[in-house]
Structure 1
Amino acid sequence: MLEKLNVIKQRFDEVSDLIIQPDIISDQKRYIALNKEYKDLKKLVDKREDYKRLLDRISEAEEIIADGSDEEMLEMAKMQYDEAKEQLPVLEEKIRYMLIPKDPEDSKNAVMELRAGTGGDEASIFAGDLFRMYSKYCESKGWKVDVVDFNEGTNGGYKEIQFEVTGEDVYGTLKFEAGVHRVQRVPQTETQGRVHTSAATVMVFPEAEEFDVEIDPKDVRIDFFCSSGPGGQSVNTTYSAVRLTHIPTGLVAQCQDQKSQHKNKEKAFRVLRSRLYDLELEKRQAEDAEKRGSMVSSGDRSAKIRTYNYPQGRVTDHRIGLTLYDLQNIINGDIQRIIDELMLVENTEKLKASDELI
């Protein structure tokens, strides 16, 4: 393990020198990539120092025990040896997980899209509940949520809503939420008190940088229209809302959240880039999942991943068979435990795959 960590330290030193070179600083794409690599390597280099200190303590204790001339020191050395030997496998396990190759997409910001599925008005209300859940979760992580576009439901909630999330390692965390979410509860509109099942689809795209996807302006049709959402006097009076249609793929991105046409156009182009980028990513994810037999990220957007059962206060994630009887807190944004379990399963799968390659 120390050999692997020494190679990482060597690369860390190289990257440390590179990011202060003027030609690297002037190349934005390369500078951002190297800066990200520096931060990732720094975590491993710090763990290497911890690991070396632990090995030194074991070695030092072994020398004192082998000498055995000083009884008082011998007792302390034995304690030090036992303590360090106990800590070593725990630290090694942490390092093994940190050595799993990271998906370069994970550090990106994300674009999320929630769409009401089967269930009529109740599905729109549920999509609204999910938006609130994710907003509260993002707030707890210190991430910024910025609405791009929405279409409100007739009885509350949203038929669809699209929003950007910016922060640290956003996509790597939220990607586990992609799929069909189901709710089982008595709808507000139901007079008989019967439990209904409704659904909403969650899509999560990594936000693409300009240099990730190049869009030929000739391939995009731009339409301007009047905004239909909240926004004061400018609503329905100025053509501030923007709709982009990517002719080769038929993908559409629109934004009407800002009063400024320019800002809406900028946001819509960010979403369009992310959608195009996601098309390629989806293919890769499906191939990777097939190779690994992954339970977590199958790349199948139509897969039912989670059920929120209100009568029993239960939330079940079907991919890993996890059931938690804490629906109220979860729907209020406390989804970290579910994400942690999904991350653990994915990392275990990746670790197994990397062990098989060695």
Structure 2
Amino acid sequence: MQNQFIKLLKEKSKDNTSFVDEMADVLDIGYDAAYRRINLKTNLSLEESVKLAKHYNISLNKLFEVGNQNSIIAELSPTIHDTDGLESWLKQSYNNTYPLTKLKGASIIYSAKDVPVFHTLTDSYLTRYKMYVWLKDLNIDMAKSKISFDDWISTIPESLLKSAFQLGEIYKNIDITELWSDNTINGTLQQVLYYFEAGLVSKDLALLICDDIHEVIKHIEEQTINQSIESHGSSNKFLLYKCDLHMLTNTPMIITPFGKVFFTPFTVLNYFKIENQNTCEMMYEFLQKQMSNSKLLATSGERDRTLFFKKVHQKIYIAQERINMEDKMSFL
């Protein structure tokens, strides 16, 4: 295993003729000690292996997966406890995604159990409400407090909004394929109804949030018809599949000419970043199978596409009617 790891390090080294000196510098050891490790006369410690992996920008998967096909290492997203944690999460998501805009042939496949977060990160009430809901779920103090969305909205740091809008813009500059079901919109609407009925969102703001959801869906329908995302003079592909067979999972997969990576959720916003290529290929094949059993709404016919988006808008209208009815029945 060490021999394979050393070979990988040599491939990453800028100058193989000075590889011994380079390793000695990284590990802060003598030339002879480094030479013994390269020639397998001395075992690398775990700490030394981690130092070398970081220096040569090698995934930790490479340290542990050699010879073991049933174990992988996953990178954990930043933990979110407060607004600072949410901002860190947005910034890391941006850093993970931004390089794709500069890489020819890069694309994203998104299995959308809920409306993909990128669509909701605009200068809107919906974006601000999403942040409120996330922090209500993840911040213990905020979860216990009775602060309403109407009061909280005025306390949002500008830097948090800036990070959100910046991440939302990234999605306009990459080729995107999304898989939706008839239920993809449900979670977003349920969030609005839950806190409205709990008295933590006013009627006026709840209805404005629903208006924003309508606008998001209208924009997605336009992209679906055009099969493209128009942004800053460039045109990126946008394909939307309607999936009726499999459960969707909020899993985005990034595909580049150099490999694949996907992000799998395990709490509200926290996710595991998976770079193991065998695992990524398994996920990619599964997503391809999902697409083969789904309808590409741009080509399935005007009737299917119109019915799908009409049904989504009807759900939003029903939520708005429920909000209005709840307000009328409040005297009981």
TM-score by length of 1: 0.24
Specify which structure has the bigger relative contact order, considering alpha-carbon pairs within 8 angstroms and separated by 6 or more residues: 2
Structure with the higher helix share, 1 or 2: 2
User: Larger Rg: 1 or 2?
Assistant: 1
TM-score by length of 2: 0.25
